[in-house]
Amino acid sequence: MIDRRGLFSYLAITFVTTYAIEGALILTGFRVTDIPPLYGQFVVVGVMWVPALATVLTIKFVTHEGFGITNFRIGPWRPYVATALVIPATFVVIYALTWLLGLGQPDWQLTGFRALMAASGADLSTMPLPAVFLVTLFFASLVIGPTINGIFGFGEEFGWRGYLLPKLMPLGKTQAYLLVGLIWGLWHAPLILVGFNYPGYPLLGVVWMAALTTAMGIYLNEMTLRYRSSLLAGWMHGAINGQGYGAWRILFTNVNPLVGGFTGLVGITMWLGMGVWMVRRRQPRSEHASMAEVEDAEIGESEVA
């Protein structure tokens, strides 16, 4: 049975708080330009913790059900290592396809990025060679993405896959996954409307973002349910953000965001394929029986409650 009271509380707190904060920020003139104002960046990063706040407030003051539902645990270490490698590899494929399909060309000399830095007043003489800069940034993202970014990613994931997903699972996996993806995408709407991810496409961008979060969500949902860890979901979210807003954005500056790259049809299709593969891989398992089976499957792996 669906917990309507818990869902209403969670969604109301999440959306009203987020839209109010971001709406006020937008009214001050904030736009997601090439280099958004620093104060706005701090606000946007802080808003990533609103879904977690909504989860805590709902459980503590509305449903009084305890935090066991959120799978707030580390779980086995292997999926952390695996996803820290698989996610960057996925981005390599996404941008290789973008290039091979003629949807974007890599800017090996970083002319666009250097022009942006120069316009912001940066001293380009201190900047390393483009190849050195790109390689350093890419390898740094392998560590910083899931760790530092993962802290903020967990702020979202404690809500999306820690609370919302299990609350919707009584509807069945398909409906639950679709609803989580749609809600997750629409939550980004205010920022999309002012240039985030889809500059120049405010309305279509909202639709595309919902498609992207739904496609990515299948993979995240499957891993979260399999390993019963919302912390793993936060780690994966951080790894995705580290890749999506790091070296690849700097290298491919001329990609139509609706078609190529991480946010376009290429990225959406790639994530959808990964998600479907994960679902089919787990097909023999009952979607409601996975908890006990994972316990048995992970005997021998180190777990931290």
Residue 171 CB neighbour total at 10 angstroms: 13
Question: Is residue 40, in this structure, part of any structural domain at all?
Answer: yes
Number of domains in the chain: 1
Question: Is residue 125, in this structure, part of any structural domain at all?
Answer: yes
3-class state of residue 217 by DSSP = helix
Question: Is residue 305, in this structure, part of any structural domain at all?
Answer: no
Question: Is residue 302, in this structure, part of any structural domain at all?
Answer: no
pLDDT, tens digit, 9 for 90 and up, residues 32-49: 876 677 788 899 999 999
Question: Is residue 183, in this structure, part of any structural domain at all?
Answer: yes
Window from 41-55, 81-95, 144-158, 282-296 with minimum mean pLDDT: 282-296
Question: Computed from CA positions of residues 290, 296, 297, 301, in that sequence, does the dihedral angle turn out positive or negative?
Answer: positive
Question: Is residue 77, in this structure, part of any structural domain at all?
Answer: yes
Question: Is residue 304, in this structure, part of any structural domain at all?
Answer: no
Q: Residue 175: its pLDDT value, please?
A: 98
Find the mean pLDDT for residues 22-35.
Answer: 89
Find the mean pLDDT for residues 16-39.
Answer: 90
pLDDT, tens digit, 9 for 90 and up, residues 123-153: 787 888 989 999 999 999 999 989 999 999 9
pLDDT band at 115 (very low <50, low <70, confident <90, very high): confident
- What's the pTM value of the predicted model, to 2 decimals? 0.90
- pLDDT higher than threshold 80 for residue 121: no
Please name the residues in contact with 283: beta carbons below 8 A apart, sequence gap of 6 or more.
none
Q: What residues make up the domain containing 8?
A: 4-297
Question: Is residue 47, in this structure, part of any structural domain at all?
Answer: yes
Tokens 């904060």 identify what position?
Answer: 21
